[in-house]
Amino acid sequence: MAALLSLALPAVRAADPLTVRLHSEGLETDGPSFVVPVDLSVPAKRVFIRKVPIISEKDIKAIFPFSNADGSLGCALLVNADGRQRVEEFSTSARGEIAVALINGRIAAAMQVNRRITDGIINIAQGFKPEEILVLQSLYPTIGKEKEFRSQKKKALASLAKADSERARREKEARKDERKKAAAEAAAEKEAARQEKKQKSRAP
C-alpha cells in the first residue's frame, strides 16, 4: 500500500476544519505567486512546493489509519477518479522528486516519489494527531470496511465529543489555577507592603 517514502515529521497542534493536502516540489524561480518555501527536518533542507496541491481532502474517498512502532500515527488515503489521475500523472513525471503532505497547513511528512502510483492510494506514513484521525474517521469510511461507516462515524464523533469535553475541563482547571496563583501573588505583595510599612513606622 505504501507508495511514497516518508522523510520528515515536524509536530504541530491540530486545528479545525481538517485539511489534508499533498503538494509537489517546485522551483524557487517559479516565483512567490506559484511556490512557497518549507523547511524540512529530515533531510534538513529548504524546498519550494507548489501552492496548488495535487490532491486535497475533497478528493478522499476512503482512509486506512495505522499506528507505527514508535507510536506515531499515519494514514493511507484512497482518492477519487480525478485525484487518482492527478496522482498517477505526478508520480510518473516527478520520479525522484519530493512531495510534501500538509495537515491543517503544517508539514506532516515529506515523501520522495519512488514509483508510479496507479491505484489512487497515497500513504502518509506519519504526522497525524489522534483527534485528526478521529475527524477522518467521522468523514470517510475505512478501506475494506465501507459498510461499517455508519457505526465508525458514530464512534468517532462520540470520541471527539469526549475529547472536547476533557479539553474544556482542563482549560477550566487551568484558568482556576491561574486565578488562585494571581490571588496568592496579590496577597503576598499586600503582606510585603504591610510589613514594610510596619517597619518604617517603628524606625526612629
Give me the pLDDT at residue 181, please: 87
Which spans in the chain are helix H? 81-93, 130-139, 149-202
Note the pTM of the prediction, 2 decimals: 0.74
Q: What share of the chain is helix, strand, coil (3-state, %, to 5)?
A: 40, 30, 30
Give me the pLDDT at residue 195, please: 77
Q: Which residues of 124-137 are buried (b: 16+ CB within 10 A; e: fewer)?
A: bbbbbbebbbbbbb
Please, is 139 exposed, middle or buried when counting C-beta atoms within 10 Å of its C-beta (0-12, 13-18, 19+)?
middle
Residues 6+ apart with CB under 8 A from 60: 20, 77, 78, 79, 80, 83, 136, 139, 140
Cβ–Cβ < 8 Å for 107, 8: yes
**Which segments in the chain show pLDDT lower than 50?**
1-15
Domain 4-144: give its CATH code: 3.30.1360.200
Domain ranges in the chain? 4-144, 149-204
pLDDT digits (tens, 9 = 90+) for 31-87: 999 999 999 886 788 999 999 999 999 999 999 999 999 999 999 999 999 999 999
Task: Record the cell numbers describing residue 52, joined without a space.
Answer: 496548488
Give me the pLDDT at residue 42, please: 67
Cα–Cα distance measured from residue 146 to residue 95, given in angstroms and rounded to the nearest whole number: 32
Give me the pLDDT at residue 1, please: 37
